[in-house]
A and B are shown apart, each in its own frame.
Chain A
Amino acid sequence: MSLIVDVAEALVVELNAGSFSQTLSAQRHYVPSFELPDMANLHVSVVPKGMAITNSDRNRNSHDVQIDVAVQKKFEAGDAAEIDPLMDLVEEIADFFRLRRLSSYPNAHWIKTEHKPIYAQEHWDELRQFTSVLTFTFRVVR
């Protein structure tokens, strides 16, 4: 498989093996596309986003691989009691990968995490759904 798919798949493996405050089943997608009625259940989607390749040394390149992890769930009331646990889960996932070397792809090590949007206002307003996207950058030197 391509490098970015390997890294994305490794994230899926780590997420599904991890211990979080809510049970989750992460899945890799090229284009995550769901029907609103299915969103009553928690969805964690792992999506390859981009890659920057720079020179590392004479023989190797440094590949900075960006992977999106989207956490989504349709809410009922959208109040703190319902949304706070989802925000907690997103933070747990962010913390989970911080400084991590992926066990199923040990060449990849964590560089940075961006959290944007913290929650998508369009989905909140127009779908009454929580959508939060973490973008992880992992570096592979090869």
Chain B
Amino acid sequence: MADLLETGSNWLQGQRKKHATREVTYRQGVNSAPVQATVGRTVFEQDDGSGVIVRTEIRDYLIDAVDLVLGGQAVLPERGDRIEETNGGKKYAYEVMPLGSEPHWRYSDPYRKTLRIHTKHIATEDA
């Protein structure tokens, strides 16, 4: 018997990808590829305890695991990977990093279909 929860989750992920994604460029080392991603946003502040505060914008990207193919191979996110978005003539670069006690990525659903990738804004330049 089919797992109804999995079927429903897959349908929802399909709808998310169909209606709530934009194209971004995913870079890992020398490889890059355009992928469809759903964007989330949070603002975050960090203090290292020595009084030096570094503020950064955090973005989570939801990407179908099967879509993350670089250099002809399916890959998983690594720290230091870059995700680039172009918007309004500007290119925004985000770097894959851990978020607090969370690792830099995790599956966002129980069926390992969608990657939730934590990133932080590191640069803006003219597109």
Contact = CB atoms under 8 A, between A and B. Distances in A.
B54 interface: yes
Interface residues of B, number: 23
Contacts of A57: none
Chain B interface, DSSP helix/strand/loop, else mixed: strand
Given A77-B80, A122-B48, A127 B120 contact: yes
Interface residues of A, number: 30
A70 to B, nearest CB: 5
Contacts of B1: none
A126 B99 contact: yes
A127 B124 CA distance: 17
A76 B79 CA distance: 10
Chain A interface, DSSP helix/strand/loop, else mixed: mixed
A128 B97 contact: yes
Contact of A36 (B49, B80, B98, B122): B122
B121 A68 contact: no
A112 to B, nearest CB: 17
Contacts, number: 78
A32 B55 contact: no
A131 interface: yes
B46 A117 contact: no
A129 interface: yes
B30 interface: no
Nearest to B55: A35
A70 B100 contact: no
Nearest to A127: B54
A100 to B, nearest CB: 23
Interface in A34-53: 34-37, 39-40, 45, 47, 49
Interface of A: 31-37, 39-40, 45, 47, 49, 68, 70, 72, 74, 76-78, 117, 120, 122-123, 125-129, 131, 133
5 contacts: A37-B56, A37-B121, A40-B123, A126-B46, A126-B98
Interface of B: 46, 48-57, 79-80, 95, 97-100, 120-124
